[in-house]
């Protein structure tokens, strides 16, 4: 597993832990209310788990396991994948700032924009690696 | 494929089927007289889908495919894996019953079901991350 995948997957596991900690508190609160302000964290729960965990884990595994080129660099445009990783995490935090921390609609918008950018950069990295065994 | 992986993936498929059947029921127009219990199952539907299917499928494949640690104990302590599987599924099934029950019978004092469910799911996932963490690494090259 390449170094960049290791970072991405560790980040995904940390978002999983953070996201389910919020989720578990919310569920417990639904059963035995103790802290109504917890509901403000619902958008963070959703963002951490859908973007931080599921999407991020998928990208980390794809960077590792998609077919590699025969020649160096075996993984093309590695820099694009790194940019995708940075943008995705920036995006997650801007979205959480814009929702849970009420930093404003444009912060939320910028976060979503960073996430779109992350996906485009990752696609630019991965496109050429999505091939059949014959390389076509 | 390790036995634990087979349990994760088969369970995941069952959750997917149940989640989509529930989605179908929830998609029925409000004029259809569904039990209130079902109408309150929207969050259950999401989580059967996202925890039961997506996350559990990922866990099964991680346990199977991530780089092994050593030849002697390739995938770490499998007892912890089974514990994680049992806790996660017990917690999720408890939520499936508990969440609509609490919503429809708020006076019955059943809220503790959700507290227990939250704790079980949280522990199940924490144990899985503990097991998976050391396998996020370079390919095993002996030694
Ligand atoms: C692991 C993947 C998970 C994902 C992707 C996920 C995703 C979501 C999503 C999308 C919602 C919003 C549903 C809506 O719009 O109403 C939500 C709500 C919620 N989640 Fe999760 N979740 C996950 C795990 C968990 C876990 C493990 C728990 C508890 C132990 C939990 C507890 C909750 C609660 C209590 C709500 C609020 C339900 C309500 O509206 O009453 N989630 N989650
Ligand atoms: C046969 C296929 C499906 C059916 C019939 C279906 C049906 C539904 C229904 C009726 C709702 C609204 C529940 C409510 O608020 O009362 C819903 C919401 C949702 N579905 Fe599905 N669904 C299907 C497949 C999927 C798939 C494949 C995904 C994810 C990859 C998905 C993810 C979601 C999510 C995240 C929501 C919550 C949106 C929100 O926050 O309000 N569903 N679905």
Has residue B136 got a pLDDT over 80?
yes
- In eight-state DSSP terms, residue B143 is -
Tokens, residue A88 = 């995705």
Burial degree of A119 (CB within 10 A; 0-12, 13-18, 19+) = middle
* Best CA proximity match to B84, nearest among B128, B36, B118, B119: B128
Has residue B50 got a pLDDT over 80?
yes
Residues with CB under 6 A from ligand 2: B 20, 23-24, 26-27, 42, 46, 49
* pLDDT, chain A, mean: 96
Q: Note whether A16 contacts B137, CB cutoff 8 Å.
A: no
pLDDT on residue A133: 76
Tokens, residue A57 = 């884990």
Q: Do A128 and A76 touch, CB atoms closer than 8 A?
A: yes
* pLDDT, chain B, mean: 96
pLDDT on residue A135: 66
pLDDT on residue B106: 87
Q: What does the pLDDT look like over A19-40, one tens digit per residue? A: 999 999 999 999 999 999 999 9
Mutate to test the pocket of ligand 1, among A13, A18, A24, A27 (most ligand atoms within 8 A of CB): A27
Q: Note whether A24 contacts B118, CB cutoff 8 Å.
A: yes
ipTM above 0.85, yes or no: yes
A96 touches chain B (CB under 8 A): no
Interface of A with B in 35-94 (CB under 8 A): 49-50, 53-54, 57
pLDDT on residue A136: 60
A6 touches chain B (CB under 8 A): yes
pLDDT on residue B118: 98
Has residue B143 got a pLDDT over 90?
no
Tell me how far apart the alpha carbons of residues B70 and A109 are, in angstroms, rounded to a whole number: 46
Sequence ranges of the domains in chain B: 3-135
CA of B27 to the centre of ligand 2 (A): 9
Has residue B46 got a pLDDT over 80?
yes
Tell me how far apart the alpha carbons of residues B51 and B96 are, in angstroms, rounded to a whole number: 12
Q: Do A20 and B121 touch, CB atoms closer than 8 A?
A: yes
Number of H helices, E strands in chain B: 6, 0
Sequence ranges of the domains in chain A: 3-129
* % of chain B exceeding 90 in pLDDT: 94
C-alpha angle with apex A52: B127 to A126, nearest 5 degrees?
Answer: 115
Q: What does the pLDDT look like over B72-130, one tens digit per residue? A: 999 999 999 999 999 999 999 999 999 999 999 988 899 999 999 999 999 999 999 99
Tokens, residue A8 = 């991405």
Tell me how far apart the alpha carbons of residues B77 and A60 are, in angstroms, rounded to a whole number: 24
Extract the residue ranges of chain A whose pLDDT is less than 50.
none
* Best CA proximity match to A9, nearest among B129, B104, B127: B129
**DSSP track, A106-117:** HHHHHHHHHHHH
A32 touches chain B (CB under 8 A): yes
pLDDT on residue B142: 80
Find where tokens 């894996």 sit: B81
Question: H helices within B40-111, ranges in order?
Answer: 42-47, 56-65, 78-104
């Amino acid at each position: 597993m390449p170094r960049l995948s290791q970072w991405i997957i560790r980040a995904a596991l940390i978002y999983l832990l953070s996201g389910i900690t919020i989720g578990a508190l919310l569920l417990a609160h639904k059963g035995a209310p103790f802290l109504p302000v917890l509901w403000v964290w619902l958008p963070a729960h959703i963002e951490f788990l859908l973007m931080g965990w599921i999407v991020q884990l998928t990208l980390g595994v794809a960077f590792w396991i998609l077919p590699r080129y025969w020649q160096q660099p075996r993984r093309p445009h590695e820099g694009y994948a790194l940019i995708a990783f940075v943008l995705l995490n920036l995006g997650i935090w801007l979205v959480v700032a814009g929702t849970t921390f009420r930093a404003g609609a444009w912060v939320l918008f910028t976060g979503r924009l960073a996430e779109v950018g992350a996906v485009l950069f990752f696609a630019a990295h991965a496109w050429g690696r999505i091939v059949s065994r014959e390389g076509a | 494929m390790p036995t634990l992986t087979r349990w994760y993936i088969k369970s995941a498929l069952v959750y997917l089927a149940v989640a989509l059947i529930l989605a179908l029921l929830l998609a029925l127009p409000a004029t259809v007289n569904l039990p209130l219990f079902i109408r309150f199952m929207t969050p259950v539907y999401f989580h059967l889908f996202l925890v039961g299917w997506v996350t559990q499928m990922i866990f099964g494949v991680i346990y199977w495919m991530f780089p092994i640690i050593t030849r002697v104990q390739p995938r770490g302590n499998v007892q912890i894996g089974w514990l994680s599987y049992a806790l996660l599924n017990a917690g999720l099934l408890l939520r499936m019953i508990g969440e609509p029950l609490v919503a429809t019978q708020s006076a019955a004092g059943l809220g503790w079901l959700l507290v227990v469910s939250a704790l079980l799911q949280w522990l199940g996932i924490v144990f899985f991350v503990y097991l998976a963490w050391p396998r996020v690494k370079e390919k095993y090259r002996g030694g």
